[in-house]
Structure formats: structure tokens, C-alpha cells
Amino acid sequence: MWGDWHQLWEIVSVPDNVPIVALLFLVPFYTWYAFREAFKHDRLIAQLEGDAAMAKSHHRKPYPFKTGWDREVHVWPYLMRIEFLAAVILTVLLMVWSITLNAPLEEPANPNLTMNPAKAPWYFLGLQEMLVYFDPWIAGVVMPTLIIIGLMAIPYIDTNPLGNGYYTYRQRKFAIWAFLIGFLALWCTMIVIGTFIRGPGWMWFWPTQTWDHNRLDFAVNRNLHEVFGIQNRWVAMGFGAAVIGLFFAVAGYAMHRLCMATEFSRKIYQRMTLLQIITMHTLLILMFSLPAKMVARLVFRVKYVLVTPWFNI
Amino acid sequence: MPENENNDPILAKSYSGALLISSLLLVLSMFWALWQEFIGLRPWRHYQSEFASAYGKFLRSEFNKQKQSSEAVLNSPEYQKLQQAAKSAADAAEPQVKQIDQQVAFLNKRITALSPTFITARGEVTALIYQVEIAPSESSRKSRQDAVEKAKKGPFKVELPTPDGKTEQKSFTYDELLAEFDSLKNQKADLTLKRADVRKAADDAAKAAAAYFQEHLEGLTAEQIKSLQLAVQQMNVSIRQINVNSAGLVDRCQSCHVAMDAKLVPPTLVLTKASFGMEKNKDAPFTSHPQPELMKIHNPEKFGCSPCHGGNGRATNSIIRGHGRNPFWLWPLHHRENVEAGCQNCHASDMYTYYAPVLNQGRQLYRNKGCIGCHRYEGFDNEGEQLLSTRQLVRQLEQQKTDYELEMPRLSREGDKAQDNKTAQWFYAQAENLRVQTSLIDAKLDQMMVRSRSLLREEKKVGPSLKEAKMKLRKEWIYYWLENTHKFRPDTKMPQFRFKPREPRAISAFIWQMAVTGPALEKQPPGSIARGKELFESRGCLACHSIGEGNQKIGGTFAANLSRVGEKDNYDYLVRWIHNPRQRTRPYDPIARKDLGPEDYKKYGKDFIFDLDNSRSPDGKHELQVQQQTVMPSLRLTIEDARDIASYLMTQKHADQEYRATDFMDDPKLLDTGRALVKNYGCAGCHEIATLEEEGRIGTELTNEGSKPIERLDFSLLTEKAKRGVLPDGKPSMRDGEKYAEWYDHKGFFEQKLTKSDIFDQGRFTTQLKMPQPNVSPEEINALTTFLLGSVDLQVPKDYLYKPGDQRRDVQEGWWLVTKYNCMGCHQIAVGQPSSLQSMAMYQAENKFKLPPPLLSEGARVDPNWLARFLENPAMSKTDLNRNGVRSYLAVRMPTFSFSESEIRKIVKFFQAISSQPQPYLPPKMEPLTPQERAMARELFTHPAAPCLKCHATGQPAHDANASAPNFLLAPDRLQPAWTMRWITDPARISPGTAMPSGLFNLVEGRWVFSGPLPPSLKGYPKDHADLLVRYMFTITPEEQRMLLGRTPSGGKPGAK
């Protein structure tokens, strides 16, 4: 049943989902805001670069861009007062929130009768959604570990010295796009899918579709080697490994071309050591493996590419 | 600092505006939080203060009212007299009391003077004695003992007051001091006792006056109201909770429902919304409990509120949460109409719960409408299960016996082979033990056989046996009935099945072809219809059966309406059925699983005779089912009476009803389809059907249905409608005046399912639900829903469950049988429970005496051993069965139920228990009559003011034609003297409306004296007249009675005094 606004309201109004509803608006807003600032500063940088004297003194940093302005200001009061203001506003928000919305308690736990859909806390819904595309070992252990390792590795593979302390797009295109795809397109989208789209039986319900507990779906998901009619297990494993190897090769090459795209990026790229390059490529390829697998799963109904007795990909 | 620093936005920008606004918001949100903390989340504060003012107002008006009425009592002459008596008694005792008081005062002075010295001395001496006890050596012990002796010598000097007001100096040793002190104390105690003695008369008189005041003032006294007012004034607004640690119970319901607090509102005060002038207020939780009696039985300090009512006892922050009506709370408050569901929590094993009529109705319906046929319910109709387990036990015991018998010779042989005597003897002893064991097993087996015999008798079916369909029913009718169950008989208990096309054909064919065909029925000549009608209406058939359609309907609802019986029944069969409903065409052998015929008996050279006395299988090995599994009893009618009634019933039909020919019922090809369908629909749950006798129940067990997780109740395609409060027909659901109330809960499920059993199949591509449409009214649906809502898992500690081990258990077991056999059709058993017959036109006013006796005090009335014999054989005769054993004058017949031994035992214990009679019953000894007393008793017995034999039967037909009371000859065996005494002195109290006259005796100075003109011989007789009569009654002989009959004025109209 479509057009069921009651259902939509029921999902949206659950106290648990309020952060995600807020996320729907706040994330685009701040993205837009950040880009606005970035472009503003990019124009400023361009202006400063046009002025030879300024360019020299400012090392491509926009602030302080007027002569006579201090190079540094005191923490107190100039930083603290803004932080204090933010703290006050946040406290008001938290108080109003805690008064109006109660902790969303649900039924008592019953191991004989689990809830349907059983959803993780909202910040883990992205991981839970990943379970649809990978086996639990990959989605639950390998991927989260890699995400953490990847985040930790960023300072060591980022050789671009620009863009510290001010908004800029031009100087950090690569980093910004990597962030936008990794955080916005993958992490946030998966949380939104997990919250608003996944209903009983973890089935796909478009917004305003009734979450019918009796709904039955027919879908056949096959492993890739089955699609190609490969029967033998060892052959299948070899085939799967080959496909994944191919994916890595193609993606690695594409990534390389991307890094070599502009003069600026070539310069950065050349500064990196081999270890840095390999780490970055591996992490990014792994990141892109998620959308690749999502497409394979949702569009081509492929369950696993590589099936081994120990793990599946 | 550069001079143009102000241009730097970081330095120059002012945030004061933003800071001001956000700080204001912060303060505002803090106030909001405080409001929420103290008022918003504590609605009970408001309720308590509102209650305090409303209740205070109520008490003020009550105080004025009560002051006037209490003044009226205080000024009444009786009270004045009592008050006067109290005063004069007090005056009389006054001088003596005064003297005693003076003496006590003097003693007190002396004790006070003595005390300090005494206490000091005692402290010193006991401390020294302790030192002696822990002395390390013999020598030190000696020296320490000397110290004790020295300390004891004193001397202790005390200034003691003397009677003349002066003081005297006295010197004591320690022992003397002790003695003096004790003696003073003793003297004082003696004087106190004496004072109480002296004042006793005065105190008693004052108490009598106070008691008189209490008794004659309705409601509370002015003082009580004053103290309540004080309590309300001092009441502080706070959480009020009941905390029962052992039960994990914390109920804060009283925080809003303040009037439940017994300290503020005593149980004698009943508060309704009207008391506060708040009738219109939807939200005023100030009424006191509407059933104060229940609160006396269930002390709220132990039981709390939520175990009975549901709801979330801990929640105090909103009405919805406190009532547990919020999502995911498993035990929401029971709705008003289902409030008795809470009783079932602890009273699940009751058959009859006092104060819970709706729940009782639900239980009764569950059995009577045949729900139990498909849905098992713990404790309901489990004779079948018990029978199975008994049989299993028998098999085990037999196996054990065989094992022992094999073991015995082996052990003996081992003994023979043994090396020494000791070993040999050990083996022989073992063999001997086994031999004894087998005899014990035999005893057990015997008991098991008796038990299984009982159980076979006890096991009843809700519907009639279909094995007899061919002999009993009109062929075409069966098919018609399956399709038009409720149309043919609108009040039948059989549900309407939702058959698919052509299914009824196969089912009727299966029933028809599986039915037994013989031995053929005896051909019966027709009887008299007019006499049959009269018998039908007077013999008591109407206690269970109804007859007539629509407004014309009369009779009980327990059994079928017989209005159209003539269309379906075979006359010959009907005669046999009325003559003895338990008679079977063929006995059923539960081991061989078949109905036995003459050919099976012939194999063992036996005649085809089977009845309760010949219930063994032809090979003599096990018990047969020799009765119809119906609760309908035998009325012990003659065959002529049976014919008359049957002839009358055969006239009960719609002459214009046409039945289509049903030749397909003889088609053997339909047999297998039919069998599968009958199994599928669970017909064998209620009916006895050949080859399906041992079929199990097909429905889900409902013992704990009320606590089944809601997800397991399949609302199917109605789930969303239920959650949004839309009924299946699209209308909004209504609950407690709330529109679009969610019905996605157990109550909603049960109600909808009972209203339309296939409701949750609606819109399904294939139907899955087999449950037929039950024939229940909305009121009955509510009763069943209440019963099911209460059928939950254990939620309270085990010791809260009502599982009495004493007589109350006998009461519950008895109720089970009393409702099983519908004793209440004829008899009144509980106070306020009318029998079916009682309300009928033919038993009103002066015809009341024609009713079967009420059994309210049956246990106290009769000797239990007699009662057991009577229940076994209500005719009280082996030969003349066509009569009532006790009340031969009643047209209504006490039927023969063919109870099993255990049923008789339970019923007898039930009657004893409801009358609180001790078990076992020992008949009291009676003082024999002296010849003079016998003569006096005769005089009384035949006194014109109380001619006993005018109404009481004697066994002489001519006299008994007008009799309206039982024969005295039965009394010694049957009655208990104490009850008889109560009966003859005030029968109307025991049985209102009885023909037995009340006021025959007057209570004069503690003994009963005949109230009519006293016969000369009795004048001066110092003993109790009623007792004399009772003693005489218990010794009366037939000769004596015949002689007395001659002296009695001849019988008049029954009931005339």
C-alpha cells in the first residue's frame, strides 16, 4: 500500500529516529555551508595570489589578509566566547530535547520472540545495512576495523600541506571528495536506508509504503560463479578470486589515473612514498568495494563473488 | 597594537545579543525543566490536593449530618438508661477505688525511694559475681567470693516514707533489699488487680453504652469524622505506595487514587464521584473501592493493586503509563467490563469464584459451549487424559509384576547355590520381598481399575454420540443441520461450521455410514400427547431443556431447545433415550477400539448384557464404556411415561419444513473424504464418532492464551486496521468512549474472533482458520474474553495462588461437578443463585412448595453417609424406582445421575464444606426419651396448632396424596439433629417460602417453648420443647406413626397452616 502517511509519521516520530530526521536536514545544510565558505575562500585565495606581495606574505593562507590585522589573537576572550555561546545553545537544545522526548523503551527482551525488524542503535544502522551485502565476518569485523584503521592512517598518507585552519575546496579537492563519498554517500545513506527504508523482515519499503508484517517477497540471490554456471568448488574459488583481483586492478588503475589528473594532484602524488600510495589505494578501493557490491547485490542479485569455506565476499 | 584593530571581524564583532538571547532561553528551559520535574511528571500532586479539599468539604457536610443523628441516639431513652447505669455503677465503686488508689500511691513512693539504692547495689553485686565467674585460679576465686559477700552485707541505708507522711531510716543487707523490693512490687500488682475487680461493673456498663451507641448510629461517629478531618489536614502530598518485597510488588496507585488509603477513608465509608459532586468529571480518581468485601479478603498491603487490575504500579508520571496503556507494556489495566480477568491470576483452578459472576459465566460457557472440545485448558475436562495415564500406569504395573515373577525363581536358585547360610538367606529374603511386593502391586492395580471405571463414567462429551445417528436421526436432517445449524436451532450450543461446498455431503455420508445399526430398537406403541406434555413440564425436564421458539421459549439453557425435535428424531429411539439416556446400543471397548456386538460376547459364551453392573469386557480383562457419554440423567420414568413424553416431543416440529433427499449419504466413495473432513474439523472433540474415539483436540491450548505474545496472535491482514483503531467493517473502534481506540491487543483479538470466527481469514487467498462460528451473544463474548484475558502465565508468587488444601478445596471440586451436571437447574445452591425452575410461572406464589428443595444448608441438614447413598440411588429403593426417595409428593424428579464413586464423594464433601461441617461425620448421641416425655412429644406432634402429619408424608398412599413434606421415618438416617432443631424453630430462615410454618416455638429464657396452647401434660416441663420433639422424631417407628396418623386432623390443602 502506497501513500500511507500514517506509516511514515509513525517511523519519523519514534524518538529513536529523531537524530536521523535531523541528520537528513543538518548534514546537507552543513555541507552546503562548508562549500559556500570554501568557495568564498577560494576566491579570496585567488585574489591574494593575484597580488604578488600578499601571496608572498601569506603562503597561500587567506587569513589575515588585510594588512594591520593580527597574525594571532588570544584564546580568551576571542575563542572562548564563541565556544561558550555554542555551549549555551547546545545546553538549551539538550534540555528541551530531554524534556520533550522520553527514552524510547520497547518491549522486554524475549529470546524466544525477537522483534521484527530488529534494529541496531541509529549510529550502527549503517553497519547493520552492510550485513545485507557482505557476510558477517566481512561486514561486522573486517570492514569496521578497516574504517578505523583508515581514519587513523589519514594523517600519515595526507601529504598535502594546504588547507589547514580555513575552508577551501580548490586546495583539497581529493580529500573532500573522498570524504563526501565515504561519509555522506556511504555512511549516512546507509543509516537513512536502515532507518526509513528497511521494514519487517529487513525488506525494502519505500517511504509511505505500509510496513506490512505479512509481506512476502520473491527474490533469488545467487553467487557469481553460479551465474556463470561454475560447479566445481575450487574452480569457483579461483574464479571469485580472479574477479576480485580484476576489480582491484581496474580500480587501482582508475585511482592512479585520477591522481594523475591535474598538475596539482600530480605534485602531491609525487611527494608520496610507495607505502603511502599503496595504503591509500587499498583503502579507497576497499571503500569503493561497498557501492560496487551494493550494485551487484541490488541490481544484479549477486549474493557473493568469492565463496570460501571461511569467509565470503 | 595596530591602530585599526577594530576592523578585524574576530576582534570587533560583538556576540552580546546572541549571548543574551541564548542565556534567556537557557533560563527559560531551566524553568521548564523545573516545572516538569515538580508538576508535569507528578500529576498525583494535583490529584492529592484536589482530593484533600473535596474530601474535606465532604467530611464537613458529613459531620453536620452525623452530629444530628448521633445526638438523636445519645438522647434516646435506651442510651440514657445505659449511661445512667454506667454512672451509678461508677459511683458505687468510687470510695473503694479511691482507697486503693491511695494505697498504690504510697507504695509507689516507697518504691521510688528504694529504687536508686537497690539499682546501685544490684549493679555492684552482679559485677563482682562476674569477676568470681572468670576467676583464673582457685585462690583468686575465694578472695573474690569474699568480696561479693562483703558487698552483699552492706549495710544499705534508705530513707523510707511512712504512712503518716514522715520518713524513717532503715538499713538493709543486699538480700533484704531484694526481698523488700519484690514485696513492694507484688503488693502493688495485687492492688491493681483488685481495683480492676472493683471497677468491673462500671466498666462493663460504660462499654455497653458505647456499644449501643455504635450499633445504633449509621455510619461514622462525629468523633471519627473529626479524626478523619484531622488526618486530611495533616495529609502531606507525597507518593503513597504498597511495597511487598516477597512478591516484587511496588504499587503506587494510591498516589492518585487517594481514597484507597484506609487511613484516610475507612472501609465503612463508601465514596463515589457523587459524594464529591463530581459525577460529570471523567477524571477524578477519588472513589473508594466499589467492592469493600473484596478488600477485606485481599488485604491491599499484601496483594497491592496491579496483580488484580493490571497496569504499571510503579509508574506515576501519567495516567496512560500508570494504567499501563502505553505501547509495549505487557499487562495493561483491565478494562471495566473485563475487570474480573484479574481474579483468574490466582483463582485459575477455581470453578466458581465468588464475587466474579462474569468470569464464572466465561468458565461455564467455555465448557458448556464446547470450546473445550477443541481447545485444551488445564484443569478443564481432563478425564480423558487421566484415563490415558491411568491405563499407562496399569501397563507399567503389570510389566513390573511380570518382571518380579521372573526374578523370584532366579533369586531362589541363587540362594540354593549360595556358599554360606548368610548369603543364602539374603537371597531368600529378597525373593520373599518381591512376593510381598507383587501383592502390593495387585492392590494398586485394583485401585487403578476402580479409578479407570470411575473415569469412564465421568468422561462426558459436549455433543451427542454420532454412533447412534442412524438409529436416532432422520437421514435428510443431518445434512440440513450441518449447513443450517443456527437457522434450525437459534440457541444451539453447536457452532456453525464454515464448510466449503460439497463438504457437508461427505461429512454427513461419513457419519451416516459409520453409525451403528443394531441390535434393532424395540418398536414402541404411541403414547398420550397430552399426558406427555404434562409430564414434560412437571418432571423437571425444563430445568435443563427449553422448549418453544422466540418469545414462547421457557426452560433452562443448559441443554438443547427441543422445539423442533419432532423433525429429526426417531420415535422409538426417543422413547429409549427418555427412559434411560445413558443406554447404549453397543458398548465401546477402549482397548480394542471398537463397539462390541453380540457376536463378540458369544465368543466367550456370554449374553449381550452390558450395564454399570456388567461393565467388564467379555474376556473380563478391562472396563468398557457402557454408557452414553452424556450428562443427561435418568429420570427413572416408566416406559409408559417415556412413551408419552416422546409422543409429545414428536409433535414439536415445523410441519412445513421440507428436506431434500440425500441419497449420496449411502455413497461409500464419500467415506474417506468424510473421515478426513471430520478429523480436520475436529468433530470428535464434542461427539463420539466411530473410529475417532481417541482423536485429540485440534485447537490451540488456551490455558495461557492471555499472555501469549501479541505477535503470536495472527491479526493477519487486519493488523494495521487493529493498530489504527479501525474495525474490520471500516468503522472506528470505540473503547471507554474513545474513538479510533487501538484494538491490537488480546482483548481486541478475542472479541473479534468470537464475534466472527473467520474474521482474520478476511482477504486471504486461502482460508486457514477452521474455527466454526460460535453461537454466543455479545454479553457471552465479553464473559469468554474476560476468562481468556485472565488465562495467563504465573505472574504472582506461587503462594498467592488460591490452592486451598482445606474444605475450600472441596468447595471448588464440588462446584466443578455441580456445574457439570447442572444441579442449579433445579436446586438453589449458593445464596442469590436462582435455579432455572425457580423463575418459571408454574412455580410461583402458592406453588412454590412444588419446587425442588434449596440446598443451601444441605451439608448441615443431612448425614453425609445418607447423602452418599441417596445420590447413588435417589429412589431410595431397589425395586420401586418410579418415585422420589425423599419427597415423594414432588412431581419434579430427582434423577439418577449414575455418578462415579469419586464424584459422589466430592459432592458430599462439597455440601459438607459449604456448611462448614467437620469430616468425617460422627452422629451425635441423643438422650433417650422417658415414657413421660414420649407421651408429651406425642401430644405436641399431633397438636391441632401444629399437626405434623397433616403435611408430612407417611408412606400411606391415601394420606400422601396431600402430603407436602418428607416422611418422618427417614429422619433418623437422614437428618442431623442440630439442623433439625434449627429447622423446626425457624424454617423460613433456612428456606424462605417453605410450607413449613415458622414460629412454632418461642425462645423463653434460653429454651424453646411451644407457642400454641400448651397441652396440660407439658405444663411445668422444664426442658426444651423443640429438643423434645427432635428427639422424638429421631426415634419414631412406622407403628408409632400409624398410630399418630389416627390422631391427626385429616390432611388439608398443602401449604395451609
A56 — pLDDT class (breaks 50, 70, 90): low
Question: Once rounded to an integer, what is the mean pLDDT over residues B870-891?
Answer: 85
pLDDT of residue B1052: 44
Residues of A in contact with B328 (CB under 8 A): 105-108
Where are the alpha helices (H) located in A101-182, listed in sequence order?
Answer: 125-130, 136, 143-157, 173-179
In chain A, which among 49-78 make CB contacts under 8 A with chain B?
A: 64, 66, 68-70, 73, 78
- The model's pLDDT over A78-102, given as tens digits with 9 standing for 90+, comes to 899 999 999 999 999 999 999 998 8
pLDDT of residue B2: 43
Q: Does A105 touch chain B (CB under 8 A)?
A: yes
The closest CB to that of A92, out of B25, B716, B724, belongs to: B25
Most confident of B9-23, B798-812, B943-957: B9-23
d(C-alpha B527, C-alpha B952), whole Å:
33
User: In Å, what is the CA distance from A17 to each residue of A5, A11, A131?
Assistant: 16, 7, 20
Match 578505523 to its residue by C-alpha cell. A148
Q: Is B379 helix (H, G, I), strand (E, B) or coil?
A: coil
Residues of B in contact with A99 (CB under 8 A): 29, 32-33, 36
Which residues of B have a CB under 8 Å from any CB of A? Answer: 2-5, 7-8, 10-11, 15, 18-19, 22-23, 25-26, 29-30, 32-33, 36, 328, 330, 709, 711-712, 716-717, 719-720, 724
B65 — pLDDT class (breaks 50, 70, 90): confident
B1049 — pLDDT class (breaks 50, 70, 90): low
B5 — pLDDT class (breaks 50, 70, 90): very low
Residue B686 reports pLDDT greater than 60: yes
Residues of A in contact with B4 (CB under 8 A): 68
Match 548369603 to its residue by C-alpha cell. B423
Contact state of A212 with B720 under an 8 Å Cβ cutoff: yes
pLDDT of residue A61: 60
Tell me if B856 sits within 8 A of B991, measured CB to CB. yes
Average pLDDT, chain A: 88
- The model's pLDDT over A121-140, given as tens digits with 9 standing for 90+, comes to 888 898 999 999 998 999 99
Tell me if B71 sits within 8 A of B79, measured CB to CB. no
Parallel, antiparallel or unpaired: strands B1001-1004 and B1007-1010: antiparallel
Average pLDDT, chain B: 87
* Element containing residue A191 per DSSP (H, E): helix A189-192
Q: What percent of chain B shows pLDDT beyond 90?
A: 35
List all residues 6 or more positions away from B926 whose beta carbon is below 8 Å from its beta carbon: B977, B1031, B1034, B1035
pLDDT of residue B1054: 42
DSSP codes of every residue in B828-894: --STT---TGGGSGGGSGGGGGGSPPP-TTHHHHB-HHHHHHHHH-TT--SS--SS-SS-TT-SS--
Question: Once rounded to an integer, what is the mean pLDDT over residues B347-361?
Answer: 90
pLDDT of residue A60: 53
pLDDT of residue B508: 93
- Comparing alpha-carbon positions, the chain A residue that sits nearest to B40 is A99
- The model's pLDDT over B691-731, given as tens digits with 9 standing for 90+, comes to 888 888 899 999 999 999 888 898 988 988 999 999 999 99
* Element containing residue B167 per DSSP (H, E): strand B167-172
d(C-alpha B278, C-alpha B260), whole Å:
17
B830 — pLDDT class (breaks 50, 70, 90): confident
Residue A64 reports pLDDT greater than 70: no
- The model's pLDDT over B608-650, given as tens digits with 9 standing for 90+, comes to 888 888 888 888 878 888 989 999 999 999 999 999 999 999 9
Parallel, antiparallel or unpaired: strands B625-627 and B734-735: unpaired
Q: Which residue, among A6, A65, A211, A213, would best test binding to B if mutated, counting the most B CBs under 10 Å from its CB?
A: A213
Match 466472527 to its residue by C-alpha cell. B756
Q: Which residue, among A10, A70, A74, would best test binding to B if mutated, counting the most B CBs under 10 Å from its CB?
A: A70
**Residue predicted with more confidence, A291 or B992:** A291
Joined together, the cell numbers standing for residue B953 give 408424608
The answer to whether the peptide bond before residue B920 is cis (omega within 30 degrees of 0) is yes
Q: Is B605 helix (H, G, I), strand (E, B) or coil?
A: coil
Q: Does A216 touch chain B (CB under 8 A)?
A: no
Find the helix packing angle between B421-458 and B383-417, rounded to 10°. Answer: 170
Question: Once rounded to an integer, what is the mean pLDDT over residues A191-202?
Answer: 92
pLDDT of residue B960: 78
Residues of B in contact with A81 (CB under 8 A): 15, 19
Cα atoms in the Cβ-side hemisphere of radius 13 Å centred on B315: 18
Joined together, the cell numbers standing for residue B814 give 464440588
- Comparing alpha-carbon positions, the chain B residue that sits nearest to A106 is B328
B414 — pLDDT class (breaks 50, 70, 90): confident
Residue B774 reports pLDDT greater than 90: yes
Tell me if A200 sits within 8 A of A214, measured CB to CB. no
Residue B500 reports pLDDT greater than 70: yes
Residues in chain B: 1057
Q: Which of B805, B716, B694, B788 is closest to B747 using CA atoms?
A: B788
User: In Å, what is the CA distance from A120 to each residue of A129, A191, A192, B328, B782?
Assistant: 10, 10, 13, 18, 41
pLDDT of residue A57: 59
The closest CB to that of A85, out of B15, B716, B719, belongs to: B15
Find the helix packing angle between B77-133 and B43-75, rounded to 10°. Answer: 120
Residue A146 reports pLDDT greater than 60: yes
- The model's pLDDT over B256-304, given as tens digits with 9 standing for 90+, comes to 999 888 888 888 888 888 888 888 888 878 888 888 889 889 988 889 9
Q: Which residues of B201-218 are buried (b: 16+ CB within 10 A; e: fewer)?
A: bbeebbeebeebbeeebe
Find the helix packing angle between B174-216 and B138-153, rounded to 10°. Answer: 70
Joined together, the cell numbers standing for residue A204 give 525494502
d(C-alpha B1036, C-alpha B937), whole Å:
11
Residues of B in contact with A210 (CB under 8 A): 720
- The model's pLDDT over B75-84, given as tens digits with 9 standing for 90+, comes to 888 888 888 8
Look up the ipTM and state it: 0.84
d(C-alpha B206, C-alpha B224), whole Å:
19
Tell me if B510 sits within 8 A of B675, measured CB to CB. yes
List all residues 6 or more positions away from B474 whose beta carbon is below 8 Å from its beta carbon: B567, B568, B569, B570, B659
| Dihedral, B826, B827, B831, B837 alpha carbons, nearest 10 | 20
Question: Once rounded to an integer, what is the mean pLDDT over residues B479-499?
Answer: 91
Q: Is B554 helix (H, G, I), strand (E, B) or coil?
A: strand
* Element containing residue B640 per DSSP (H, E): helix B639-650
pLDDT of residue B3: 46
* Element containing residue B546 per DSSP (H, E): strand B546-547
Q: How many CB pairs under 8 A join A and B?
A: 71
pLDDT of residue A74: 87
pLDDT of residue B171: 86
Q: Which of B639, B659, B340 is closest to B482 using CA atoms?
A: B659
Q: What single-letter amino acid sits at B528?
A: S
Contact state of A113 with B30 under an 8 Å Cβ cutoff: no
Q: Which of B798, B796, B794, B793 is closest to B704 using CA atoms?
A: B793
Q: Can you give the pTM of this predicted structure?
A: 0.83
Where are the alpha helices (H) located in B36-76, listed in sequence order?
Answer: 43-75
Tell me if A280 sits within 8 A of A272, measured CB to CB. yes
- The model's pLDDT over B943-971, given as tens digits with 9 standing for 90+, comes to 877 788 888 888 777 777 778 888 888 88
- The model's pLDDT over B169-215, given as tens digits with 9 standing for 90+, comes to 888 889 888 999 999 999 999 999 999 988 888 888 888 888 888 88
pLDDT of residue A54: 67
- The model's pLDDT over B425-444, given as tens digits with 9 standing for 90+, comes to 999 998 889 989 999 999 99
Residues of A in contact with B717 (CB under 8 A): 214
